[in-house]
Structure formats: C-alpha cells, structure tokens
Amino acid sequence: MKNKYSIFSLIKNAFSYHENWQRAWRDPEPKKEYDAIIIGGGGHGLATAFYLAKKHNMTNIAVVEKGWIGGGNTGRNTTIIRSNYLWDASAGLYDHALKIWEGLSQELNYNVMFSQRGVMNLAHNLQDVRDLKRRTHANRLNGIDAVWLNTEEVKKFCPIINTSPDIRYPVLGGTLQRRAGTARHDAVAWGYARGADAMGVDIIQNCEVKGIKRNGDSVEGIETTKGFIKTKKIGVVAAGHSSVIANMVDLKLPLESKPLQALVSEPVKPIIDTVVMSNAVHAYVSQSDKGELVIGAGTDAYVSYTQRGSHDVVEGTLKAILELYPIFSRMKMLRQWGGIVDICPDASPIISKTHIKGLYFNCGWGTGGFKATPGSGDLFAHTIANDEPHKLNADFNINRFVSGDLVDEHGAAAVAH
C-alpha cells in the first residue's frame, strides 16, 4: 500500500529529515509470464500501464524499459500541452488528453505541476493569418477554446515580443488557447509509475528488448536482456525506436526517426508567463519554474538515432528567437540536447492494432507527443484490453496509409516536418 502524499506527510517526514520516504515504485525482477507487456517506460508507456490496471483490471502486466523510466523523450521535450489541432479526429484525441491533464495531479496523487498559462501561436504572413483563423474556427466548432488576437493584443498578452512592422517576419496576429500550458515532464513519468506500481504493475528498468517471439500470426513473448518473458499481448510505445522493434517482426511502419533538439538558457527572473510558438520562423519559447528559457528547435532533415542534432538547426532557431525577442540578445544558453522522434507522413500518431495478433503499436507522435501523454495512455490501454480501438483513436490506425484516409496535421504540428 502506498502512503498518500499530502501536506501532512510532508510535515511528518520533515521531522525525520526526509530520510524515511517510502519508495515510489519497486524494482522487481521479471516474472515468467504476464497478461500484457508494454515496451517502453516513457510517459505514454507508463500511462498505458496505469490505465490498463485502473480501468481494465489488468494488473498482471509489466513495463520493460531499456534505460531508466522517463529517460527518453519524456525527459527531453519542451513540456508544452495544447489541443488546438485542426481536424476533428485530432481535436478529439488531443482534447481528451487535455481534459485528463486538468485533473491529473489529483488522479495520481502526484503534483505534475500542470500550469494552464496559455499557448499563443503567431502568424507572420497572410497565409498564416488565414490558416490560424481557420484553425480557431475549427477548434471552436469542436468545443476547444481558441481566440484570435491582433498584433496589439499579442503585444498586450506578451509584452516582450517585438511587434515592429519592420522585422523580417512581422507579427500579424496570433491565436491563443488559454487552457493550454505546460507540466513538469519528469513528474508525469514518475506519477504514472508510482500509480501503476501501486496497482501491481511491474516496472522493469535496464531491460532491453532483443526480439519478439511469434507463433504464426500471434505473439508469444519477448526476448530481453533479462531473459525470455511470456505474454500474449505486447504494446509497443518505443517512440523514436518504434521501427527498431517493428523490424524484429518484419513489420514496416510509415515512420522516419530524426533528432529533435531543445535548449535551455541560464535561469533569470520571470519574464515570459506563457508559451509562445511560431511555426513560420520556427521558434517557440516558455520559461520554466526554475527561470530557464525553454526553447524548442527543429528536427534534422535526415534519419538519425544519435540524440544530438545539428548546430545549424539551433542557430536558425536562435536567430528567429532574437528577432522576435531582442531582450534575450545577451542570454547565455546552458544546455542543448536531442531526442529521437518518429515522424509519420501525415504528422499524426498511430495508436493501432497490427496484422499480428496481440501486437499493438502506439507511435508516430513525432515532434509533439508529450501533450497527449494521458490521453494516449488511456486510449492505447483501451485498444489493448478490448483488442479494438476506442472511437477517439479509431482514425489513428495503421491502415490509414493504405486507405489514404490520412489525418494531415502538418499545419498544427509545431515543428515543421
């Protein structure tokens, strides 16, 4: 039984110098067999396990992670959460996630530091204005809050933006989703891990999957660095390494894996209290609670699993940042890193069964998966438990690449693919 986190437990533990806190999750050895195994211990994978246990009573399950939980893209993203996507299918998917975010800290009894500080998307040319206004209308028809701001309103909402008409790409306006914001990315992984563990889910770290054993058209288990584990259901949530797992069963996915970079500055006093994104010049920025500017750069345009990324990509992003925010001109950047993102041709994810019985994939989140973490886990758990998709992820099946029924979200994806 897990002790509940509260103000009282904080005070109680203060008396013993915080040396007696209960372990947040166990470190079990794998059992011989599970009812289901999730490959990948990031936010999406842990959320999947959590909802499998909580909503579908599947507690004899495991999450296997080759490194440590939350050490991949969960700990490498820029923590932005929003649901202002264009198409109905995406709006349903991402707003489902946003609604779970709104109560997530209470649901998990873990402070994920969800902060609805708003996300503003800027328009820099006439086509941007048309596209973003169209998206605002589409959002509102789907019940998602969205407003159009003109240049003065943009300046009022975020005064440090340079709205001079003389810059190379002047700010012609922007959209604002007030319910959007940020969360503490590590806390999401840790909160779901603690919650899943409390219901009996085994979280097995430092356990890399080496192969998938099949019997005809169905799966029998996984070969790992900790031995063979038997199971009838495998949910793959391996982000940038999804194709690596798929290649183990000769399954081809419509994915390309590329490094996506982010960087943070030295910490400064509060200067920007929202998230501002600009697709056209490719710059987005927010400020962490520690005071660092969190800046998202672009992807490299070639397949790579190096978790580094190219210098010219960062340079391009910082040029745009400096033109939009001249006040940052003397800021020093402290850290830069890359994460490997798996990008689908239509910039939408895959949450789907495959033609192999018992093998499910949740992948293709590309450059924007963090925001969807709770919804993705919930819907993927439903798909695995019932062997059929929930109506909210039915459109995100693998077969859309055969039928041609794509969910083209290139416009709403923050990072140009």
Partner 1 sequence: MFLINCPYCGERDQSEFSAGGEAHIVRPKQPTELSDDQWAEFLFMRKNIKGVQLERWNHAHGCRKWFNMVRDTSNDKIHAVYKMGEKPPLK
Question: For binding to partner 1 (CB under 8 A), which residues are involved?
Answer: 241, 243-244, 247, 252-257, 301-306, 310-312, 342, 345, 401-404
Minimum distance of partner 1 from residue 242's CB (angstroms): 8
Considering the complex, state which of residue 131 and residue 300 has its C-beta at the smaller distance from partner 1. 300
Nearest to 67 by CA among 107, 39, 47, 44: 39
Q: What span, in angstroms and rounded, lies between the C-alpha atoms of 348 and 201?
A: 29
For the bound state, the minimum distance from the C-beta of residue 338 to partner 1, rounded and expressed in Å, comes to 11
Name the residue nearer to partner 1 (CB basis): 241 or 371. 241
Q: Based on CB atoms, which residue is closest to partner 1, 233 or 417? A: 417
Cα separation, 37 vs 235, whole angstroms: 6
Residue 166 phi/psi, 5° resolution? -90, -5
To the nearest whole angstrom, how small is the minimum distance from the Cβ of residue 254 to partner 1?
4
132 versus 255: smaller Cβ distance to partner 1: 255
List of residues 6+ apart from 323 with CB closer than 8 A: 162, 167, 168, 169, 281
Residue with Cβ nearer partner 1 (10 or 244): 244
Strand (E) or helix (H) holding 362:
strand 359-363
**Minimum distance of partner 1 from residue 299's CB (angstroms):** 11
- CB-nearer residue toward partner 1: 10 or 301: 301
Closest among 202, 194, 204 to 3, alpha carbons compared: 194
CB of 275 closer than 8 Å to CB of 118: yes
Nearer to partner 1 by Cβ, of 197 and 300: the residue is: 300
Q: Which of 45, 309 has the CB closer to partner 1?
A: 309
255 vs 294 by CB, closer to partner 1: 255
What gap in Å lies between CA 278 and CA 281, rounded to an integer? 6
Q: What do you get for the CA distance between the two ends of the chain, in Å? A: 45
- CA–CA dist 173, 187 (Å, integer): 34
User: From the CB of 316, what's the least distance to partner 1, in Å?
Assistant: 10
Q: Could you tell me the smallest distance in angstroms from the CB atom of residue 344 to partner 1?
A: 8
How near is the Cβ of 167 to partner 1 at its closest, in Å? Answer: 24
Q: Characterize the bridge pairing of strands 333-343 and 256-265.
A: antiparallel
CA distances from 284 to 97, 237, 254, 315, 319 (A): 21, 26, 27, 14, 12
- Closer residue to partner 1 in complex, CB, 82/282: 282
Query: How remote is the C-alpha of 137 from its chain's centroid?
Result: 25
Q: Among candidates 141, 146, 149, 125, which has minimal Cα distance to 87?
A: 141
Least distance from partner 1 to the Cβ atom of residue 203, Å: 24
* Smallest gap from residue 350 Cβ to partner 1 (A): 11
Alpha helices, DSSP H, located in 57-111: 88-101, 104-108
Burial 162-174 (b: 16+ CB within 10 A, else e): ebeeeeebbbbbb
Please work out, in degrees rounded to the nearest 5, the angle formed at the alpha carbon of residue 147 by the alpha carbons of 145 and 148.
155
DSSP state of 365: B
Nearest approach in angstroms of CB 348 to partner 1 is 12
